[in-house]
Amino acid sequence: MADSKYIVDNNHYDLGKDVFHKRHEVKEIHPLLLKIVLELDRICRKYNIGYALSFGSALGIYNYQGFIPWDDDIDVAIDYFDIQRLIEAFKSDLKEEFSFDCYEDNKRFNVLIPTFKLRLKNSYIKETYHWTLPNRCQNGDGIFIDIVAFMGVPKDKKEHIKLLKYAKHRMVYYVALDAFLRIQPYRLKEKLKNYEKAVANSYRHSDYVSQTVIIPFQDWAEKKENLAFPREVIYPFKEYEFCGHKLYSFNDLEMFCKLCYGQKALKKEVNGILIDPQPTKYRKAKHSKTYNLYSNSKR
């Protein structure tokens, strides 16, 4: 732990079985995820593109100055209007051991998920929800970090939820075509992305921001108490310690974590020792069905 006063966590968090039916601990995937985010950091610093470790990764910074011990992914936010700049930077300067997918570069990309997937090539992961949200891109199924576009949204939560309904009402049709009939819903994808662009432009100067409105299930998470955040909580992005590295997250990290997860999720001091109040029953990895940490072989 970065803080020597932090309570020692002796639990072994199970990542599940790999493709060879061998079990691994969550901490074994952390160096691979960190390797990917350090490449993103290199690219973004070189091309002056803002990014922020977000959601569970932001909470990890606040509570641990690194990964939450049972967290098996990294979440990243960028500004919606930096999407094209990041694509161009990836195309010109991404190291050979990495690949990326996004709709703007590959029309087979699933637009109901975060805006980019940045992958480590020499690895493999099958996501928990691979049946309903399959990967149709040809860059492989390497271990990845999610990069989601943040955009302006209405301050009023009801109005925000109305915007989310556009994608929700089309989700069943989309999944039926893509996952079950294996027909690429290109026209529907284009409509969703055009809708996303229209909303981003309409609320470009809004005092509240959140992740893109075409992710239909973002308000289903029970632990997220707010969908949108005051702009000054998010921007400008700031540097924080993460696993011994200086990486970026939101401007007011503590307030973001409070608004997103509630005060109950933040570390607290008990008898002079910092503890994580998350109940043991929730301390589980949740993103991988199976995986290969050291090769892209699926068996």
What pLDDT is recorded for position 155?
94
209 within some domain: no
CB 65 within 8 A of CB 97: no
Give how many domains the chain has, as a whole number: 1
What pLDDT is recorded for position 224?
61
Burial group, residue 92, by CB count within 10 angstroms (0-12, 13-18, 19+): exposed
297 within some domain: no
**What is the chain's Cα-based Rg?**
19
Structure tokens at 53: 């470790």
What pLDDT is recorded for position 94?
98
Q: Which residues pair with 247 in a beta bridge?
A: 240
Which residue range is the domain that position 91 belongs to?
14-150+218-292
175 within some domain: no
Q: Which residues of the chain have pLDDT under 50?
A: 1-4
pLDDT in tens, 210-254: 999 999 988 776 556 689 999 999 999 999 999 999 999 999 999
Three-state DSSP at 278 gives: coil
Structure tokens at 37: 């985010």
Pairing of strands 124-127, 208-211: unpaired
CATH of the domain at 271: 3.30.460
Only one residue has tokens 């209405």, namely 154
CB 33 within 8 A of CB 74: yes
158 within some domain: no
Other Cβ atoms within 10 Å of 216 Cβ, number = 19
Q: Given 3-state DSSP classes, what are the helix, strand and coil percentages for the chain, each rounded to the nearest 5? A: 35, 20, 45
CB 247 within 8 A of CB 37: yes
44 within some domain: yes
CB contact set of 39 (below 8 Å; sequence gap of 6+): 94, 95, 98, 118
Rounded Cα distance between 233 and 140, Å, is 36
Question: For residue 236, is the peptide bond before it cis, meaning its omega torsion is within 30 degrees of 0?
Answer: yes
Find the angle CA(7)-CA(11)-CA(16) to the nearest 5 degrees.
140
Q: Which residues pair with 23 in a beta bridge?
A: 17
Helix 157-175 to helix 186-202 angle (10° resolution) is 170
Other Cβ atoms within 10 Å of 46 Cβ, number = 11
What pLDDT is recorded for position 129?
84
Q: Which of 175, 144, 32, 90 is nearest to 24 (CA)?
A: 32
What pLDDT is recorded for position 63?
94
Other Cβ atoms within 10 Å of 80 Cβ, number = 22
Other Cβ atoms within 10 Å of 62 Cβ, number = 19
Helix 83-93 to helix 30-46 angle (10° resolution) is 100
4 within some domain: no
188 within some domain: no
119 within some domain: yes
